[in-house]
Amino acid sequence: MAKILLVNGSPNEHGCTATALDEMSAVFEKNGIEAERLWLGRKAVPDCIACHKCQQGGGCVFGDHVNAVAERIDEIDGFVFGSPVYYGGVTGRLTSFMDRLFFSIPDDKFAGKPAASVVSCRRGGASAAFERLNNYYLMENMIVAGSQYWNQVHGNTPDEIRRDIEGLQTMRTLAQNMSWLLKNLEAGKASGVCPPEYEEKIFTNFIRNV
């Protein structure tokens, strides 16, 4: 059974972001896909200190949820990262978690896996936060799933989110699209369709050698 990890980057475990993710989880489960939730909690999440120790192996020096997910990365077939909008951006806790997660895990562990972002806001800033989240997947050869609209819900309370019927439909459509994508990937693998072979990565810092 395929597994999707849904990360809630809100300090509210059962708040608006969680309500949007719940709507997706119900669709995943209906499609026979395991939907696992990870809530990042309310304690401060350390940000990346650019020590580069993770690149020597052994994971992030701060451990926490980052290494717990890293250890299980091969079991996870797809990801959804959800955040409330704070001043037009992603929460600090989710940014810190994702910076360390994506920096400490080899690129090939993410490549070819579907990913999606979900944002929740009262009124504005959803697009900027949404784009910020998508930046992670778009440089890891991941497959970014979309929906009928940008993946956002509007409200300050779970009850308000439940009344954002377009937002919730967008979540259900997104989960349908991700489910379909996962099933296609599984079917492709079973029939011998190989993932792309990539060239060795060029890393130039914009400096030309010739």
Ligand X SMILES: Cc1cc2nc3c(=O)[nH]c(=O)nc-3n(C[C@H](O)[C@H](O)[C@H](O)COP(=O)(O)O)c2cc1C
Query: Is residue 167 at the binding interface for ligand X, with CB under 6 A as the rule?
Result: no
Contacting residues for 66 by C-beta, under 8 A, at least 6 apart: 59, 60, 97, 100, 101, 104
Binding pattern to ligand X, positions 41-70, x when CB under 6 A? ------------------------------
Residue 159, both tokens? 């009850």
Interface positions, 139-158, toward ligand X (CB under 6 A): 155-156
Length of the chain (residues): 210
**Residues contacting ligand X: total by CB under 6 A:** 18
Interface positions, 82-111, toward ligand X (CB under 6 A): 84-88
Contacting residues for 133 by C-beta, under 8 A, at least 6 apart: 81, 83, 90, 94, 98, 117, 119
Query: Is residue 122 at the binding interface for ligand X, with CB under 6 A as the rule?
Result: yes
Nearer to ligand X, 66 or 121 (CB): 121
Residue 48 in contact with residue 93, Cβ under 8 Å?
A: no
Query: Is residue 183 at the binding interface for ligand X, with CB under 6 A as the rule?
Result: no
Contacting residues for 46 by C-beta, under 8 A, at least 6 apart: 62, 64, 96, 100
Min dist. Cβ of residue 130 to ligand X (A): 12
> For ligand X, which residue has the nearest CB?
15
- What are the residues binding ligand X (CB under 6 A)? 10, 12, 15-17, 84-88, 120-125, 155-156
